Amino acid sequence: MTDLAYLTVAEAAELLRTRKLSPVEYAKALLDRIETHDSDFNAFLRVTPELALEDARRAEVEIMRGDWRGPFHGVPYGLKDIVDYAGLPTTAHSKILQDNLAATDAAVTQKLRAAGGVFMGKLSAHEFAIGGPSFDLPWPPARNPWNRDHFCGGSSSGSGSATAAGFLPAAVGTDTGGSIRNPASMCGIVGMKPTYGVVSRRGVMPLAFSLDHVGPLTRTVRDNALMLDAIAGHDPLDPGSANCATGGYTAELGRGVVGLRVGVIRHFYMRDMKADAEMTAGIEAAVKLLTDLGAQVREIDTAALGDYAACNRTILTSEAFAIHEKWMRERSQDYGALARERLMAGAFVRAADYVNATRIRRKMADTFHALFADMDVAVTASSMDPACRIDNPQAIEHTYARQARAPFNVTGSPAISVPVGFSKTGLPLAMQIVGKPYSEALIYRVAHAYEQATDWVKMHPNENRSVKMYV
């Protein structure tokens, strides 16, 4: 079962395609694993064994008759519970929506079903993708598989936890200020926030319309590219959807980084906000390795991290409050304390501040994108710290904002978090690779080259949570 738990999407796809692995056997093994271990991690809000086995049996019949749909045919996946699956509740991990049945599939759900994926269930989140790891909600918060006493990141917390724990090879998350890349960083997996609009948000509970992104969490870079291939594409029913060519995200894997120009945004984690020493060491070791692999590396300067963060915060809280105003007036007591406090902040943002933030955002994005005239990708921190304890609200509040992810929601740029090692206490470390709009294939190329030159992808949490793998 452990071997099946840590199959990559690419490995599973080949075994399934060649009929060396049954989709039903695969799904049953992961369902058994979830039943045995998820009580420790709370990654799932709702496991759907009947739907999973129905999907698996259908995939098995189709593959047996030679009707193979591609690399997600027969492969299990999960959805963050702000993403609609027809006939199931979309709760947003909140009492307010605990009885909210989805009438139709989200666009991303439609694509994964069409690809032949095996749906395993709905995954934990921070309440309405903003609340944090709360203990005053109908369901407990997800925990970190590397150490269950620690935070697993958010707001796509269950997506990160389930993928790292070997419950799923792939999951869907969302990212408004870092909510795919944070759990990827905390859980030692790969999380991509694609260019704004590359993946449709139709059928996804919004947090901030102009900042929301949907994207994949996986254990390897190749798997991430495969999943983005499955879920990307223009959707005329999503007003923010990008009407441009998408796909081919695996095309540049294996080409290496020789000659590529890499800009390091060190001031984010060394001057604007000093990162934990182990996190800094992990990032700097990764930058050195990229140099050793043949990349042309130089330091670059952008706007200050605090300026990006203020712009993101002003827009996010304003748009979030606009979405939640009616519930906040009528049912504020039904929110968890963290979500209520964070959403209420938007009530006090002046219209002039919001308008000015949107104008500044355009200038910041244009200035940042212009840097790519002289470089191919940028590298910087994702989180500034390894995961803190989940039962320490002060530590969570302190570390939650210590990140360099929000700038790329402001710019709409594609950005990926990849593992760069472990702290001395066995908690994952990560870096972020960023590109110009629609350069996901190039980002995957750099991330894959780094991944293949290290052993981090081969390391998984032990069931007894005793981790002995350090930087």
Give burial (CB, 10 Å; 0-12/13-18/19+) of 236: exposed
Q: Among the options 22, 80, 95, 383, which is catalytic?
A: 80
Catalytic residue among 155, 383, 417, 439: 155
Q: Give the number of residues written for the chain.
A: 471
Selecting among 22, 157, 159, 179, the annotated active-site residue is 179
Q: What's the token pair of residue 131? A: 């609340």
Known catalytic residue at 155: yes
How many Cβ atoms sit within 10 Å of the Cβ of residue 65?
8
Dihedral-angle region of residue 210 (phi above 0 means left; psi in -120 to 50 means alpha; beta otherwise) = alpha
| Nearest-angstrom CA–CA distance, 424 and 145 | 16
Bridge partners (DSSP) of residue 204 are 83
Q: Are 205 and 176 in contact (CB under 8 A)?
A: no
185 is catalytic: no
CA distance 166 to 74: 16
> Beta strands 76-80 and 118-123: pairing type?
parallel
Query: Annotated catalytic, 288?
Result: no
List Cα–Cα distances, 374 to 296, 299, 301, in angstroms: 11, 12, 13
Which amino acid is residue 225, in one-letter code? Answer: A
- CA-to-CA dists, residue 129 to 84, 179, 340, 365, angstroms: 14, 8, 12, 24
* Distance between CA atoms of residues 315 and 293, nearest Å: 39
At residue 371, what are phi and psi to the nearest 5 degrees?
-60, -25
**What distances in angstroms separate CA 263 from CA 248, 371, 407, 419, 442, one per listed residue?**
25, 9, 15, 19, 14
| Residues with catalytic function | 80, 155, 179
